């Protein structure tokens, strides 16, 4: 062994800052944790978060809700998904995405991916035609944006309803336009390992007032929709409020209070993540046999994790490669394992979805490795991690 072991945890996030702690303490002292527990015209912490996130996102409307998965599910319902209707989505994604489709009553149809880990737009075009699907829930998985110009052309030509899963692209842009602003709605997560941290939580954005009115009622507004910080006009709710069920998926004031101060630092943190990403990327790109996904010049990404492939690696070697890295303190996730491991799984283990042939994606996923880059790591930490990965990869590169 040449490289010394790495000793820092990959799941350790930065502490919640003092401003957020003080805001949370204020909410706790008030006892008014429920988002609608306000006095007269006062805006709650949840409503203020909606107002501030809508302004950051550049969208008219925002709903603070219980999780990113809930945001996706309620978005599909608010967009008019019917029971048993098909929804196109990425093969490369995480379980909450097909789970949200199932929860909304839909049937996931997986679209193949490219070696750069984005939607295969040729396969998308074929499956739109074959399935007659009205919906595309695109997962910008691990922060990789597809060519959004070409995607929108396909969406427009086929009258698709586009909903974006931006759990990994909060703050990312394509030609200066934020992810989440390309279709009907953007869905964001504030789970601990995302770009804002409230433990669990989600945000849903849109410029469509009827869509957002339905989503707000679905979330459980109890006819208190006027207390939202970035909601449509009251008139829009007149009929929608009577015909839309309450699914109780609200965010509370405690979580909102710790998110608002974090939002102020998001742009600075994006630059910090990207510096760490680029430190690892530059090292891995130098090694023949390790493939790092390409990026478009038009894309401004958020590199809070990094992915790479070792093409041709066998299942047994992939498992051994992960083990060797683990022994040296580097926690890799492998997307080729058909048995779920922690947060990582693939379509073969989602047995509530009809089995689909996805040979191209399966080949890519079989050689795909992934690791988090928390802001608790320094640039030197990231270089250290790179050296371990490179050392462990030597016997597996063909």
Q: What is the pLDDT along the chain (398 residues), one digit of tens a residue?
A: 567 999 999 999 999 999 999 999 999 999 999 999 998 889 999 999 999 999 999 999 999 999 999 999 999 999 999 999 999 999 999 999 999 999 999 999 999 999 999 999 999 999 999 999 999 999 999 999 999 999 999 999 999 999 999 999 999 999 999 999 999 999 999 999 999 999 999 999 999 999 999 999 999 999 999 999 999 999 999 999 999 999 999 999 999 999 999 999 999 999 999 999 999 999 999 999 999 999 999 999 999 999 999 999 999 999 999 999 999 999 999 999 888 887 888 898 899 998 999 999 999 999 999 999 999 999 999 999 999 999 999 989 87
Look up the pTM and report it. Answer: 0.96
Tokens read off for 60? 């008219």
Helix, coil or strand: residue 157? helix
Instruction: State the Cα–Cα distance between residues 257 and 26, nearest whole angstrom.
Output: 9
Question: Distances from the Cα of 18 to the Cαs of 21, 191, 261, in angstroms?
Answer: 5, 19, 9
Second-level CATH architecture of 266-396 = Alpha-Beta Complex (3.90)
Instruction: State the Cα–Cα distance between residues 311 and 329, nearest whole angstrom.
Output: 23
Rounded to the nearest 10 degrees, the angle between the axes of helix 96-103 and helix 68-78 is 40
Please check whether residue 89 is in contact with residue 81, taking contact to mean a CB–CB distance below 8 angstroms: no
Tokens read off for 275? 């510096």
Sheet holding 177-178, edge to edge: 177-178, 173-174, 299-300
| Region(s) of the chain under CATH 3.90.1150.10 | 266-396
Q: Which fold has domain 18-262?
A: 3.40.640
Please check whether residue 165 is in contact with residue 69, taking contact to mean a CB–CB distance below 8 angstroms: no
Give Cα 91 distance to the centre of its chain.
14
Instruction: State the Cα–Cα distance between residues 15 and 173, nearest whole angstrom.
Output: 27
Within 10 angstroms of residue 73's Cβ, the number of other Cβ atoms is 28
| Region(s) of the chain under CATH 3.40.640.10 | 18-262
Instruction: State the Cα–Cα distance between residues 207 and 115, nearest whole angstrom.
Output: 33
Instruction: State the Cα–Cα distance between residues 151 and 124, nearest whole angstrom.
Output: 9
Tokens read off for 2? 């040449």
Instruction: State the Cα–Cα distance between residues 92 and 154, nearest whole angstrom.
Output: 20
Instruction: State the Cα–Cα distance between residues 321 and 389, nearest whole angstrom.
Output: 9
Question: Distances from the Cα of 64 to the Cαs of 34, 253, 283, 292, in angstroms?
Answer: 12, 10, 39, 35
Instruction: State the Cα–Cα distance between residues 99 and 125, nearest whole angstrom.
Output: 23
pLDDT for 1 equals: 57
> How many Cα atoms within 13 Å fall on the side-chain side of residue 226?
7
């Amino acid at each position: 062994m040449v490289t010394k072991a790495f000793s820092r945890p990959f799941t350790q996030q930065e502490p919640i800052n003092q401003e957020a702690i003080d805001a949370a303490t204020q909410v706790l002292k008030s006892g008014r944790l429920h988002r609608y527990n306000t006095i007269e015209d006062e805006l709650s912490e949840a409503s203020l978060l909606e107002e501030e996130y809508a302004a950051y996102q550049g969208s008219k409307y925002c709903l603070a809700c219980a999780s990113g998965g809930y945001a996706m599910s309620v978005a599909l319902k608010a967009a008019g998904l019917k029971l048993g209707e098909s929804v196109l989505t990425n093969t490369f994604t995480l379980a909450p995405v097909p789970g949200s489709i199932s929860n909304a009553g839909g049937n996931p149809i997986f679209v193949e991916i490219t070696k750069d880990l984005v939607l295969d737009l040729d396969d998308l075009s074929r499956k739109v035609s074959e399935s007659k699907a009205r919906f595309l829930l695109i997962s910008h998985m691990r922060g990789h944006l597809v060519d959004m110009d070409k995607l929108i052309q396909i969406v427009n030509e086929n009258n698709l309803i586009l909903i974006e899963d931006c759990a990994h692209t909060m703050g990312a842009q394509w030609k200066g336009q934020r992810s989440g602003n390309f279709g009907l709605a953007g869905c964001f997560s504030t789970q601990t390992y995302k770009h804002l941290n409230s433990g669990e939580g989600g945000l849903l954005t849109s410029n469509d007032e009827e869509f957002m009115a339905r989503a707000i009622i679905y979330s459980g507004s109890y006819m208190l929709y006027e207390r939202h910080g970035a909601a449509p006009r009251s008139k829009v709710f007149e009929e929608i409020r009577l015909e839309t069920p309450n699914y109780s998926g609200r965010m509370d004031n405690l979580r909102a209070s710790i998110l608002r101060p974090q939002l102020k630092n998001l742009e600075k943190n994006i630059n910090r993540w990207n510096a760490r990403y680029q430190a690892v990327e530059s090292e891995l790109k130098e090694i023949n046999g390790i493939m790092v996904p390409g990026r478009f010049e038009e894309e401004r990404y958020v590199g809070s994790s990094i992915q790479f492939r070792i093409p041709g690696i066998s299942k047994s070697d992939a498992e051994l490669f992960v083990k060797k890295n683990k022994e040296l303190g580097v926690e890799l996730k492998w997307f080729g394992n058909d048995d779920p491991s922690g947060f990582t799984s693939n379509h073969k283990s989602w047995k509530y979805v009809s089995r689909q042939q996805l040979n191209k994606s399966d080949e890519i996923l079989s050689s795909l490795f992934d690791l988090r880059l928390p802001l608790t790591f320094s640039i030197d930490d990231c270089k250290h991690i790179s050296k371990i990965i490179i050392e462990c990869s030597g016997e597996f590169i063909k």
